[in-house]
Amino acid sequence: MLRPGDWMSRKQEGAPLALLTAWDALSGSWVAEAGVDAVLVGDSLAMVALGHATTLPVTLDEMLHHCRAVGRGVASVIPDPAAQPLLILDLPFLSYQCSTEQALAAAGRVLKESPAAAVKLEGAEPETLAAIDRLVRSGVPVMGHLGLTPQSVHQLGYRRQATDPVAQERVLRQAEALRQAGCFALVIEHVPADLAQRLQQLLPIPVIGIGAGDRCDGQVLVTADLLGLTPRQPPFAQARVNLRAQALPALRQWVESQRAPTSAAASPAPHC
């Protein structure tokens, strides 16, 4: 396992990091078998697995439930814990923003009640920075997340972020503040590639891009987008295969085959 403490040296080695999301045992086993460095149990599972319109409704209890399933899926294909990818869990909306104590309690539950060994938090408001500092000093590895932060969808929408120089300077300042607070890595979502590259050059911690160009230290994708499982794709996520389109005909065919009269069903029942 690539422990959070080793992520900086991985950046120094120039070896790119590959992260994918998972939401249940099946997806966890797939991404683990594919050889990812880390599995993100992202709160995108609210939309991918639970059918919500945004990530906001998912609760910490639900995240823990899904994370345990992902952990079982990972273990089913990589039984040796030392060889398993790092599991990172997204702290869901309003499970850490209310106070540092709330963040500590939530992260404590993650590390005690699930196989995740790190958490991800969105944003870099002063309260969030204070919470991250406290978590890190308490032994909780924290990944930051800037740019498009889906927990702020009602303020930001899902559009590309930091498209003007003022907003870009703000992201650069926030990223440095997250590093100082102790984040071991930073996810940067849906921002111009030049900004992601500046972050990559500025920060000693790995910058993991999603819809932020290819000049990052690594990439993360929502696995359902990569596999074409969802009806709507984000503009920056190219599906490598369209599993939904492949699955539907098989499912329809099966349903129709059950309705079609077979010779057995059509023939009269045998007399006893």
Among 17, 21, 74, 85, indicate the residue that binds ligand KIV (CB under 6 A): 21
Give the nearest distance from C-beta 162 to ligand KIV in angstroms: 16
Name the residue nearer to ligand KIV (CB basis): 115 or 150: 150
105's CB contacts (< 8 A; 6+ apart) are none
Give the nearest distance from C-beta 55 to ligand KIV in angstroms: 6
Name the residue nearer to ligand KIV (CB basis): 101 or 125: 125
148's CB contacts (< 8 A; 6+ apart) are 156, 158, 159, 160, 161, 189, 190, 191, 211
Among 4, 25, 31, 43, indicate the residue that binds ligand KIV (CB under 6 A): 43
Give the nearest distance from C-beta 215 to ligand KIV in angstroms: 17
SS3 19: strand
Q: Which of these is catalytic: 62, 169, 189, 256? A: 189
C-beta of residue 220 within 8 angstroms of C-beta of residue 41: no
CA distances from 176 to 16, 202, 232 (A): 21, 8, 34
- Residue among 42, 44, 151 nearest 93 (CA): 151
CA distances from 123 to 46, 84, 212, 224 (A): 19, 28, 17, 24
* Window 159-178: residues binding ligand KIV (CB under 6 A): none
22 sits near ligand KIV (criterion: CB under 6 A):
no
Q: Is 189 a known active-site residue? A: yes
Binding mask 197-236 for ligand KIV (x = CB under 6 A): -------------x---------x-x--------------
Stretch touching ligand KIV by CB under 6 A, among 26-34, 37-45, 64-72, 126-134: 37-45
Name the residue nearer to ligand KIV (CB basis): 40 or 129: 40
Kindly state the DSSP code that residue 8 receives in the 8-state scheme. Answer: H
Give the nearest distance from C-beta 264 to ligand KIV in angstroms: 47
C-beta of residue 99 within 8 angstroms of C-beta of residue 61: no
C-beta of residue 170 within 8 angstroms of C-beta of residue 162: yes
Which residue ranges make up the site for ligand KIV (CB under 6 A)? 21, 40, 42-44, 90, 187, 189, 210, 220, 222
The residues annotated with a catalytic role in the active site are 189
